């Protein structure tokens, strides 16, 4: 056993779990009339109802004791102070500075980074306004009607998700599109119907060497120059990168290159110039409202006691379910079509951050870390995988996310959405016993024998935990707070597990192997040294490609 799992706080939680083993949510609600008041909390524009979770006041106290044992308050202070919390790469993780709305300095290695942050925000405002208002134009003098962001990972998932989430605020804006996959069909579909004369590309890559991004950027440049010539590149491309020599060699003017910094991790970079597509879509005022919502959550996380702290509460519950109850997955269920990309965004945020098996001291962990995050918008998911959530053999803790007020005037639709969301949390928590199901069928006139036969199939075990996150409305401010809530939740998990949430070495090996295999696809390099499976697949691929020739368009 590791030091963590042998620790007093961990052992106390295991004993407590065993004592609660037969206690159900039905019983907890029957015994505690004030359960909602005791286990819900407010954080800025968000209300979190945690009452439908397997917890009592003692559970929360014991989880907070684990957090204190793992020095969570100290780690929160380190995070905000610019300490190198990313110890394997020797970097801070000060993405909170990007959305700092206060006058408070924020420093990395003794230097206040806020002047540089504000300078980039000012440049983003001028550039996005120039494009949106038609003052910045293409090589033939036409305004830009299409903006294509080329990036991958954090340079795609965050801005893409936010642009989709705030689509209701994107009137009179260019059509902002996203390309990430190195599969050329992604780029071709993004360019479908676009005019080279009216298209602006944003290439987002910190190093300007990311393989997939640069392959797509090169193809985009060929598409543009094939219609407008090489001189058009400077007017039709911008970049978010630290590699100015690389962007200059590509043909991008230095005044269209937007900086960000090595203390900003990719999956936390939405708040930086990586968010330029968001500013293009909804305007810089709305982008700064997004920053303000995130800043409000930062302040809540930094200053609120552990018992009343929203990111802390969620992170504690994540550890409770993953490590003490064997729940290997968590479903994120936004009841908003605008948030349809949120689960994918949170997959990277959570799984790339905490999918680790080595702790901060270099020891292999002996407990689960990093739950598998998945989900789809309600109500679509109800007609797909909710069957497993309600009656399956695996327990999946769920996050339900819904806004009290809809984005449009169709109140009836939003009322249906709200009713479905609340009904699902109710059904998961309390279920329906076999006797209740049978009585219901008998009251509807079903023969007793048939009702008895069907009652096991039509009963629901309940006692399935969920958290409901209620937004006042889905606006930029609330969205910023929601995203920051999840960011800090992931950090809380990492502190309790004693792992580094800010590196991602697990993505590197596949990249290295792909680079080795690329020349072998065409047969330029021999297959010596490969395993039998990979060599066999390469042989089959070359045979098919040689017999069919290039794909036609």
| DSSP string across 227-263 | HH-GGGHHHHEEEE-S-HHHHHHHT--GGGEE---TT
- d(CA 331, CA 376) in angstroms, rounded, equals 8
pLDDT at 293 over 90: yes
Residue 28: half-sphere exposure toward Cβ, Cα within 13 Å: 26
Q: Predicted confidence band at 507 (pLDDT cuts at 50, 70, 90)?
A: confident
- The arithmetic mean of pLDDT across residues 394-412, rounded, is 91
- d(CA 219, CA 206) in angstroms, rounded, equals 19
Predicted local distance difference test score (pLDDT) of residue 74: 98
- The arithmetic mean of pLDDT across residues 76-89, rounded, is 97
> For residue 509, what are the β-bridge partners?
none
53, 465 Cβ separation under 8 angstroms? yes
Predicted local distance difference test score (pLDDT) of residue 548: 76
> 42-46, 103-107, 208-212: which range is least confident on average?
208-212
pLDDT at 264 over 90: yes
Quote the pTM value.
0.96
82, 92 Cβ separation under 8 angstroms? yes
> 56-65, 205-214, 216-225: which range is least confident on average?
205-214
- The arithmetic mean of pLDDT across residues 486-497, rounded, is 98
**Percentage of the chain modeled with pLDDT above 70:** 99
69, 7 Cβ separation under 8 angstroms? yes
- The arithmetic mean of pLDDT across residues 163-178, rounded, is 95
- The arithmetic mean of pLDDT across residues 379-398, rounded, is 97
Q: Predicted confidence band at 374 (pLDDT cuts at 50, 70, 90)?
A: very high
CA distances from 110 to 74, 87, 101, 107, 113 (A): 19, 17, 20, 6, 9
Q: Predicted confidence band at 422 (pLDDT cuts at 50, 70, 90)?
A: very high
- d(CA 204, CA 276) in angstroms, rounded, equals 9
- The arithmetic mean of pLDDT across residues 269-275, rounded, is 97
Our CA dihedral for 487, 492, 493, 497, rounded to 10 degrees, sits at 140
Q: Which of 164, 288, 299, 352 is catalytic?
A: 352
- d(CA 121, CA 125) in angstroms, rounded, equals 6
341, 165 Cβ separation under 8 angstroms? yes
Predicted local distance difference test score (pLDDT) of residue 60: 98
- The arithmetic mean of pLDDT across residues 444-450, rounded, is 97
Predicted local distance difference test score (pLDDT) of residue 1: 76
Phi and psi (nearest 5°) for 412?
A: -60, -45
Predicted local distance difference test score (pLDDT) of residue 527: 80
What is the pLDDT of the chain when averaged over all its residues?
96
Identify how many contiguous H helices and E strands the chain contains and give both numbers: 24, 13
pLDDT at 552 over 60: no
CA distances from 127 to 101, 132, 164, 200, 276 (A): 21, 9, 21, 12, 9
- Render pLDDT for 38-50 as a digit per residue (tens, 0 to 9): 999 999 999 999 9
- Name the H helices within 403-465: 411-430, 434-443, 448-454
Predicted local distance difference test score (pLDDT) of residue 553: 46
Handedness of CA 458, 459, 464, 469 (dihedral sign): positive
Handedness of CA 532, 183, 217, 130 (dihedral sign): negative
Q: Is 511 a catalytic residue?
A: yes
- d(CA 121, CA 276) in angstroms, rounded, equals 9
- Render pLDDT for 515-539 as a digit per residue (tens, 0 to 9): 889 888 877 777 888 999 999 999 8
**Percentage of the chain modeled with pLDDT above 90:** 92
- d(CA 413, CA 338) in angstroms, rounded, equals 14
pLDDT at 259 over 80: yes
Q: Predicted confidence band at 551 (pLDDT cuts at 50, 70, 90)?
A: low
Predicted local distance difference test score (pLDDT) of residue 550: 60
Q: Is 440 a catalytic residue?
A: no
- d(CA 478, CA 514) in angstroms, rounded, equals 40
pLDDT at 450 over 60: yes
Q: Which of 87, 111, 383, 413 is catalytic?
A: 383
Q: Is 488 a catalytic residue?
A: no
Paired tokens of 7: 């620790």
- The arithmetic mean of pLDDT across residues 351-364, rounded, is 96
């Amino acid at each position: 056993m590791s030091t963590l799992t042998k620790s007093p706080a961990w052992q106390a939680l295991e004993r407590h779990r065993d004592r609660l083993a037969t206690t159900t949510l039905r019983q907890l609600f029957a015994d505690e009339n004030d359960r909602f008041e005791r286990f819900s909390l407010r954080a800025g524009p968000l209300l979190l109802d945690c009452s439908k979770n397997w917890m009592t006041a003692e559970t929360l106290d014991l989880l907070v004791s684990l957090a204190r044992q793992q020095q969570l308050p100290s780690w929160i202070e380190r995070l905000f102070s610019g300490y190198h919390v990313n110890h394997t790469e020797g970097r801070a993780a000060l993405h909170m500075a990007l959305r700092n709305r206060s006058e408070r300095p924020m420093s990395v290695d003794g230097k206040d980074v806020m002047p540089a942050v504000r300078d980039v925000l000012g440049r983003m405002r001028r550039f996005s306004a120039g494009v949106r208002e038609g003052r910045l134009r293409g090589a033939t003098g036409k305004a830009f009607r299409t903006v294509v962001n080329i990036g991958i990972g954090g340079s795609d998932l965050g801005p893409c998700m936010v642009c989709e989430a705030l689509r209701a605020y994107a009137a009179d804006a260019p059509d902002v599109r996203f390309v990430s996959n190195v599969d050329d069909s992604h780029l071709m579909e993004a360019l479908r119907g676009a005019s080279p004369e009216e298209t602006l590309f944003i290439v987002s890559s910190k190093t300007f060497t990311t393989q997939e991004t640069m392959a797509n950027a090169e193809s985009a440049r060929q598409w543009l120059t094939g219609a407008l010539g090489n001189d058009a590149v400077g007017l039709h491309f911008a970049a978010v990168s630290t590699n100015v020599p690389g962007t200059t060699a590509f043909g991008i003017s230095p005044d269209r290159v937007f900086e960000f910094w090595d203390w900003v991790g990719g999956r936390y970079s939405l708040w930086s110039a990586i968010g330029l597509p968001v500013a293009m879509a909804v305007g810089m005022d709305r982008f700064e409202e997004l920053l303000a919502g995130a800043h409000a959550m930062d302040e809540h996380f930094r200053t609120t006691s552990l018992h009343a702290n929203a990111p802390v509460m969620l992170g504690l519950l994540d550890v409770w379910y993953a490590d003490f109850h064997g729940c290997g997955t968590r479903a994120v269920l936004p009841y908003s079509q605008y948030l349809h990309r949120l689960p994918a965004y949170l997959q990277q945020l959570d799984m790339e951050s905490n999918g680790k098996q080595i702790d901060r001291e270099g020891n292999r962990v002996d407990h689960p870390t990093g739950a598998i995050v998945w989900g789809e918008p309600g109500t679509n998911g109800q007609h797909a995988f909710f069957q497993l959530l309600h009656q399956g053999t695996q327990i999946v803790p769920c996050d339900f996310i819904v806004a009290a007020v809809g984005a449009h005037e169709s109140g009836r639709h939003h009322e249906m959405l709200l009713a479905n969301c609340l009904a699902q949390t109710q059904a998961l928590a309390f279920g329906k016993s076999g006797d209740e199901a049978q009585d219901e069928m008998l009251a509807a006139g079903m023969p007793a024998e048939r009702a008895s036969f069907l009652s096991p199939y039509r009963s629901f075990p309940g006692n399935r935990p969920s958290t409901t996150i209620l937004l006042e409305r889905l606006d930029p401010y609330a969205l910023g707070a929601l995203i920051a809530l999840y960011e800090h939740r992931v950090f809380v998990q990492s502190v309790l597990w004693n792992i580094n949430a800010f590196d991602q070495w697990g993505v590197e090996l596949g990249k290295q192997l792909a680079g080795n295999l690329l020349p072998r696809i065409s047969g330029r390099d021999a297959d010596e040294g490969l395993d039998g499976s990979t060599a066999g697949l390469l042989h089959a691929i070359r045979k098919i490609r040689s017999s069919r020739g290039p794909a036609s368009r």
